[in-house]
Chain A
Amino acid sequence: MSYPVRRIGESLITLFLVSVVVFAGVRALPGDTATALAGEEPTPEAIAQIRESYGLDDNIVVQYLRYVRHAATGDLGISSRTGLPVLDSVLEALPVTLELSALALLLAVVVGVGAGVVAAVRRGRPEEWLVNAVALLGLSVPAFWLGIVLVLAFAIAVPVFAASGFVPFGVDPMENLRHMVLPVIVLGSGLAAVVMRQTRAAMLGSLSADYVRTARAKGLSRRQVIMGHALRNSLVTVVTVLGLQLGHLISGAVVTEQIFVLPGFGKLTIDAVFSRDYAMVQGVVLFTSAAYILVNLLVDLAYSVIDPRIRLGGAQ
């Protein structure tokens, strides 16, 4: 079996296991969904009717099979809290989280790789200390604190960016940017610091390797040596780190979306968990897991392209 086919198969099995764990997990939460749904005046009659309406009295296996049967046809159910189709809410939230994550990733790669290269090339000089200090700050500052400070500074004191909310890019690109800058900085800064440190370490290793010495001896320019040889060979490490950190990027989006009131997956999940909205939690987690699994799959496939030994090893 070829390496890509095997990895795709593994990913599908993982997704199935995730669905089982999530389904059982949300039902293991303390707090009764029917009571939560009955709101301020939870009469026994209303609670009983809600249980009946949402099939909550059925056996958990029956509920799971019903869920899988519907999910297989693209029906993720109706939100018990809002009465709206889960799929609609998920599809509305998806672009927000995707845009936030993608921009944060872009920021992390551009800033992190660039700063990492500078730190490695300018080793022992003030530039390296400065980059290290900024990276340490990026790693240490909690997202919620950074978010609040940025809002106070750049949405209230100097009102350049929006304090919260989301405007789709398709509706108004400039407004979209105004709303996304601060969340992207908050979400991307930590990852940028990680990427910078890994790039710097990998570059330091590469710059002292024999092939770099050989390249220099061949008379290649400094730029060609750094960008064409040292950086390229360091990218396997960076791609690995990015793959591992993407999970943190998605989980970090939960906090960022709360701070900036972005209607993405994070906010949707938290609201759903607190109201014991089973269908919504399952839908969101299933989508998030699928995204995470897909990203890991792509990273693994990218590995095999960058380093053929992985592909061949897999084939053996």
Chain B
Amino acid sequence: MRQRTSGPSDRPPPPSRHRPRPAALTTLAARVLCVLLAGATAGCASLASPTAEVGADRMADPRPVRDGGTLTIALKSDPDKLDPTLASTAVGRTVFAAMCEKLYDVDAENRIVPQLAAAPPTTSDKGRTVTIRLRRGVRFADGTRMDAKAVKTSLDRHRTLTGSVRASELKPITSVSAVGEDTVRLRLSKPYVPLLALLADRSGMVMSPTALQRYGTGFASHPTCVGPFRYTERVVGDRIVLDKDPNYYDADAVHLRRVVYRTITDGNVRLANLQSGDIQVGDQMDPVQVGRALTEPGLQLFNSPSLGYYGLTLNIGNTKGAGAPPGRIDTPIARDVRVREAFDLALDRGLINTIVFQGRYRPTCGPLPSGTPYATGTRCPARDPAKARRLLKAAGVATPVRVRLQISTTPEDNRLGQVVQAMAKEAGFAVSLAPTEFATGLEHSRAGDFQAATTNWSGRLDPAGNIDAFTGTGGAQNYGGLSDPAIDRLIAEGGATASGADRRKIYARLVERIRARHTVLYLIQPTNYVSATKEVAGLKVFGDGLIRVKDAGYAKGGS
């Protein structure tokens, strides 16, 4: 039976809820009056104190913190199953970051570093055998030992459990064996370099075999891993409560007593709760809310370039569903690459960033994010409607070329759709917008029931994670139905090449080839924005967008 345990004793020691003092009553009264008059739309800008604009990336707050307190973090959506094998939401990864450590992790420079592993893996047999040495003296939240057998149990579960979302990404693994107490050996069907990045994500999470045996498929109700915090309770749609784990190998470095994740889907409500002090950290703040947060003297901002992208996918061959062999689609945009190039040339990425995302993201034209070793640094072509019209003329298509663009129902996608519509019109396209609710849109995209659709990918550290499934023939997320032997060959080479320098060359060629096909039009690299009250220190937000709370706490001596 889960207990509702939040109450006054759970609140942080220095609540940021400022009680009104007599001297401030006039100001407060003015604020209330202003709010009542202005309502929900205008706000009271003149009463707010301006602070600095967003500058360079800010991923961590190094101020020393004191022990104790509860940190409440608002998430944008409710995580799905708290089971590393079955979990599929990006937001769930943020919760796992506090309670389920992985064999490897990502650092501030987007490098893969050991976490539960003791060192980088060693490979032999031409990359077909991977040996991982484990950190010693590690215990799960239930007090049992984390050893090679536990890692084998977890990896085998990821690979074989019915409904496992990890199974496909671990497909190259043919067997896992425990070699001694602290060494695990993986046999692969082929050399597979992206495996390391996968082991730095949910596939690398290790679960307590005792808990797995005890709870079986109900593990999501009792997730038991190694982490600075351990699972306490979950109230669906409301909160997930984690408490400091005394069994954690680095427990002395953990300051907070408790972390509470609350689901607040509306960005404005997330910001209002930050302002009122009901939460201390707001995850995934939208550019509009970032702008408003910057005028709040009590808030601070963390920002790091995301590993993902916003873009448009054009359907050129998905007739039987993603993953199936491509078919023929008889529309100008599907038939002729020149029409797709014209559509691409109609778009001004810089202006899209300014109008749609308040200039807070970065224009991009490739799948590989800046700030990673494989970033290609491709210069995006300038918008050229005149050239676009010439291309349409050369293709011999009647203008305007009609394109139906599926967008989601978020404000961002609405703005993006309208801007694309306006830009494309000048180049000879008539874009109609089809706002579609998320689950329906996902099904349409998968089934190939669309002409063009907005695409939003949270991103993966290894370049394969941003490319293979989206552009490889038969890729599970190849919604555009792209099939190009040259791309497939380069994908295979990229996955099997161990040398970093060689891989960089391969991915540079691959990106150029993908761009030349104009099936996925990459537009924007988002930024991970996390807002927090100024009392909070020690928080870390890296490129993967996860909020790391291991070192977090309340700043010594206040803000």
Contact = CB atoms under 8 A, between A and B. Distances in A.
Interface of A: 30-33, 35-46, 49-50, 52-53, 79, 81-84, 88-89, 92-93, 145, 148-149, 151-159, 162-168, 170-172, 175, 258-259, 261, 263, 267-268, 271, 274-276
A157 B31 contact: yes
A83 B276 CA distance: 33
A87 to B, nearest CB: 12
11 contacts: A40-B458, A46-B164, A49-B164, A82-B78, A82-B81, A82-B234, A83-B217, A157-B31, A157-B34, A163-B278, A261-B238
B7 A175 contact: yes
A127 B485 CA distance: 81
Given A84-B220, A155-B272, 13 more contacts: A30-B439, A32-B439, A37-B80, A39-B88, A40-B458, A82-B82, A159-B277, A162-B276, A163-B275, A164-B262, A175-B7, A261-B238, A275-B80
Interface in B329-382: none
B387 interface: no
B22 interface: no
Given A39-B80, A83-B220, A156 B237 contact: no
A52 B162 CA distance: 9
Contacts of A39: 80, 87-89, 165
Given A31-B443, A81-B81, A159-B277, A267 B89 contact: no
Contacts of A33: 439
B476 A35 contact: no
A267 B237 contact: yes
Interface centre among A32, A35, A41, A259 (most CB of B within 10 A): A41
Given A30-B440, A149-B39, A271 B168 contact: no
Nearest to A44: B323
A158 B437 contact: no
Contacts of B83: 83
Nearest to A164: B273
Interface stretch (B119-127, B130-138, B263-271, B516-524): B263-271
Contacts of B17: 159
B36 interface: yes
A131 to B, nearest CB: 21
Given A41-B476, A92-B236, A145-B40, A151 B20 contact: no
Interface string B238-253: 1100000000000000
Interface string B1-32: 01011111000000001111000000010011
A294 B218 CA distance: 34
Nearest to B233: A92
A157 B32 contact: yes
Interface in B77-93: 78-83, 86-90
Which of the listed residues A40, A81, A93, A153 has the most CB atoms from chain B within 10 Å of its own CB? Answer: A40
Contacts of B321: 44
A44 B476 contact: yes
A105 B99 CA distance: 42
B480 to A, nearest CB: 15
A151 B276 contact: yes
Contact of B263 (A148, A159, A261): A261
A162 B15 CA distance: 12
Contact of A156 (B218, B235, B272): B272
B383 interface: no
Nearest to B28: A158
Main secondary structure of the interface of B (DSSP, over half): loop
A156 B19 CA distance: 10
Interface residues of B, number: 75
Nearest to A268: B237
A189 to B, nearest CB: 15
Contacts of B275: 156, 163
Contacts of A164: 262, 264, 269, 272-273, 278
B165 A38 contact: yes
A82 B28 contact: no
Nearest to B217: A83
Contact of B32 (A32, A158, A165, A170): A158
Nearest to B83: A83
Contacts of A159: 17-20, 276-277
A97 to B, nearest CB: 12
Nearest to B161: A49
B167 interface: yes
Which residue, B4, B437, B457, B469, has most C-beta atoms of chain A within 10 A? B4
B35 interface: yes
Q: For A30, A83, A84, which residue has the most chain B Cβ atoms within 10 angstroms?
A: A83
Contacts of A168: 4
Sorted nearest first, the 3 A-B pairs with minimum C-beta distance are A39-B88, A263-B238, A31-B439
A165 B241 CA distance: 14
Interface string B461-496: 000000001000000110000000000000000000
Contacts of A46: 163-165, 167-168
Contacts of A156: 35, 272, 275-276
A278 to B, nearest CB: 12
Contacts of A82: 78-82, 220, 234, 236
Interface in B199-241: 217-218, 220-221, 234-239
A109 B263 CA distance: 33
Nearest to B263: A261
Given A31-B440, A152-B35, A263-B237, A53 B476 contact: no
Contacts of A31: 437-443
